[in-house]
Amino acid sequence: MHAKRYFTLSASCPDRVGIIARVSGFVAEHKGWILESSYHSDDDNDSNGASRYFMRLEVKADSLPFHLAEFRERFRPIAEEMQMTWKISDSAVKKRVVIFVSKQEHCLYDLLARWQSKELDIEIPCIISNHDTFKGFVEWHGIPFHHVPVNPDNKEAAYAEMHRLFEEVKGDTMVLARYMQIIPPAMCAAYPGQIINIHHSFLPSFVGAKPYHQAYQRGVKLIGATCHYVTSELDQGPIIEQDVIRIDHSDSVEDMVRYGKDIEKAVLARGLRYHLEDRVLAHGNKTVVFR
């Protein structure tokens, strides 16, 4: 990440000749200074039978004669011409991340440590949990804590309250830091590409509950963790980041859980960073990640 302020343009569109020239030409026309650029053409055809093109550009903010809002309006005709799915963000505006947690603390602790050290330069307007286990710990950090119990009789009301809280604090991203509840389809639909989960398995293997136990019973030699976007289909959303560690026959389930916690923390932190820096472009159930 650059020390100076920059605008990030990320986009995808049907592949064709002249995309880079059109976009970089627009930047050059306004004396813009491109700090970083990444491109990828995906040969898998979309629903219209065309290949898909993906791009990400960082432009030095003070090299342009206008601010973000005008950048967005001036670029819009090009985006429409190219049939782009696109967005432009400002590095000076911190993303607002709401963390959801249950009783597993390791991912929460890791994210707060990275936030406190400014390794993750974000705002955390609140933390939501279905248990009050970490209330004191969270409030010690000066972050509002909301205990929203979830049980079979109150799920609709509980998720309505979570939705309300997220909107109230103007959240940008929800992070499920080992939040052990299934997000309802209505909330998934309301926030596509804004809910990030860490699953303690190398998906698509061992979805759902107790994946380490499933892996132990299967006798696998590698276990892992997966950071992915949440969709209405359990543990099947577009994958952002993954990692694995080797195990053998002598490792117990408890050993695997212990090893896995380290992988989960690292994978979630990397995946969240890629998302916050607009390095992840989702298309269908796949992602392009410009590291």
Query: If DSSP states are collapsed to H, E and C, what string results for 97-125?
Result: EEEEECCCCHHHHHHHHHHHCCCCCCECC
pTM of the model: 0.94
Q: How many residues does the chain have?
A: 291
pLDDT of amino acid 2: 63
| Residue-level pLDDT at 1 | 59
Looking at residue 221, what is its pLDDT? 93
Exposure b/e, 156-188, CB count within 10 A at least 16 = b: eebbebbeebbeebebbbbbbbbbeeebbeebb
Query: What CATH number matches the domain at 97-289, 3.80.30.10, 3.40.50.170, 1.10.357.10, 3.40.50.720?
Result: 3.40.50.170
pLDDT tens for each residue of 49-68: 679 999 999 999 999 999 99
pLDDT at position 166: 98
Indicate the pLDDT class of residue 43, thresholds 50, 70 and 90. confident
Rounded mean pLDDT of 263-288?
97
Predicted local confidence at residue 204, as pLDDT: 86
Q: pLDDT, tens digit, for every residue of 165-174? A: 999 999 999 9
Q: What pLDDT does residue 12 have?
A: 97
Q: Which residues contact 172 (CB under 8 A, 6 or more apart)?
A: 95, 96, 97, 194
Task: Provide the CA 226 distance to its chain's centre, in angstroms.
Answer: 11
On the question of pLDDT at 195 being above 80, the answer is yes
CA distances from 234 to 207, 281, 289 (A): 8, 21, 22
Which residue carries 């309300």 as its tokens? Answer: 164
Tell me which H or E stretch contains 283: strand 280-283
**Which one from 44, 235, 248, 262 is the annotated catalytic residue?**
235
pLDDT band of 209, cuts 50, 70, 90: confident
Q: Where are the domain boundaries for CATH 3.30.70.260 in the chain?
A: 6-90
- What mean pLDDT comes out for the span 19-39? 97
| Domain covering 6-90 in this structure, CATH number | 3.30.70.260
Question: Of 47-56, 120-129, 281-290, which gets the smallest average pLDDT?
Answer: 47-56
132 is catalytic: no
Quote the CA–CA distance of 134 and 102 in Å, as a whole number: 9
Instruction: Give the β-pairing of 145-147 and 127-129.
Output: parallel
Whether residue 15 has pLDDT greater than 60: yes
**Does 220 score more than 70 pLDDT?**
yes
Question: What kind and span of H or E run contains 60?
Answer: strand 52-60
Q: Is the pLDDT of residue 46 over 60?
A: no
Residue 48: the pLDDT is: 60
- Closest by alpha carbon to 272, among 190, 173, 189? 173
Question: 198 near 192, Cβ under 8 Å?
Answer: no
Q: Is residue 157 scored above 90 in pLDDT?
A: yes
Q: What is the residue-averaged pLDDT of the chain?
A: 94
Q: What is the reported pLDDT for 147? A: 98
Q: Is 209 helix (H, G, I), strand (E, B) or coil?
A: coil
Q: What percent of the chain has a predicted confidence (pLDDT) above 90?
A: 88
Q: Is the pLDDT assigned to residue 47 strictly greater than 70?
A: no
Tokens matching residue 108: 């929460």
Give residue 290's pLDDT: 98
Indicate the pLDDT class of residue 205, thresholds 50, 70 and 90.
confident
Mean local confidence (pLDDT), 213-237 = 92
State the span(s) of the chain assigned CATH 3.40.50.170.
97-289
According to DSSP H, which parts of the chain are helical? 19-29, 68-81, 106-116, 135-140, 155-168, 185-190, 211-218, 253-276
